[in-house]
Amino acid sequence: MKQFVVVGLGRFGASVATTLAENGHDVLAIDRDPEKVQAISADVTHAVEADATDEEALKTLGVRNFDVAVVSIGDNVSANILCTLILKELNLPFVIVKAPDKLHGKVLTKVGADRIVYPERDMGARIAQNLISSNVLDYIEFAPEYGVIELLATDKMIGKSLKELELRASFDVNVMAIKRGENIHISPGADDIIEEGDKLVLMGKNENLDKMRDFGN
């Protein structure tokens, strides 16, 4: 179980905080708005009204003892940057920051942010990926060049084994799992046969995943 501090309880921050807590992690949620703090207090380990640009306040809350910080002060760019800088100076191991655009992201990287996320851009990309191909059910980007897609088995796949499909050799993608109804088969073997209705969870470079979209169509 990791310990997370989430700064900024707008829609994105609140969603991150509650999801982490639901998965059993220790979550400290911070915001200047008492109503937002009150709204989330029952869903996380601790919820505190505080100014995240006040270094002494963050020290008092013991944020330096946490494993990961998520900064999402969306309505105040300078506060987002200052908070990130303070957290890194307090030696937090990993700081993830929400940025509205690439320029803001570049500044955050320069002050020490370990990872920048662009929720609005990523959601748009995710919707677009789903629209591009009818057999791509979901898309997740987990690194700049890599992603995971959930692909509905096409006619060309049905009845064949993973060995016969040669997805790794042909597309350089890995089959992480096969979803069949309510069951999920993790790390399937070469002899596993694809059945109608199966959903393949594939991981690889985005350019290779793009090639998979038309496989069997």
| Dist CA 57 CA 73 (whole Å) | 16
Give yes or no for a contact between 64 and 88, defined as CB atoms under 8 angstroms apart: no
CATH class of residue range 133-214: alpha beta
Positive or negative: CA dihedral 49, 53, 56, 61:
positive
User: Could you tell me the fold of the domain covering 3-118?
Assistant: Rossmann fold (3.40.50)
> Strand (E) positions, the chain?
3-7, 26-31, 46-49, 68-71, 94-98, 115-117, 136-143, 146-152, 174-180, 183-186, 199-205
Q: Where in the chain is the domain with CATH 3.40.50.720?
A: 3-118
Q: Using only C-alpha atoms, what is the Rg of the chain?
A: 21
Q: What is the mean pLDDT of the chain?
A: 86
Strand order in the sheet with 3-7: 46-49, 26-31, 3-7, 68-71, 94-98, 115-117
184 vs 79, more confident: 79
Q: Where in the chain is the domain with CATH 3.30.70.1450?
A: 133-214
User: What is the predicted pLDDT for the residue at 135?
Assistant: 58
pLDDT tens digits for 86-141? 999 999 999 999 988 888 889 999 999 999 888 766 666 655 655 455 555 565 66
pLDDT level of residue 206 (50, 70, 90 thresholds): confident
Among 7-16, 47-56, 59-68, which is the least confidently predicted range? 7-16
23 beta partners: none
- Using alpha carbons, select from 155, 157, 161, 153 the residue that is nearest to residue 197: 153
pTM, to two decimals: 0.61
215 vs 172, more confident: 172
User: What is the predicted pLDDT for the residue at 198?
Assistant: 94
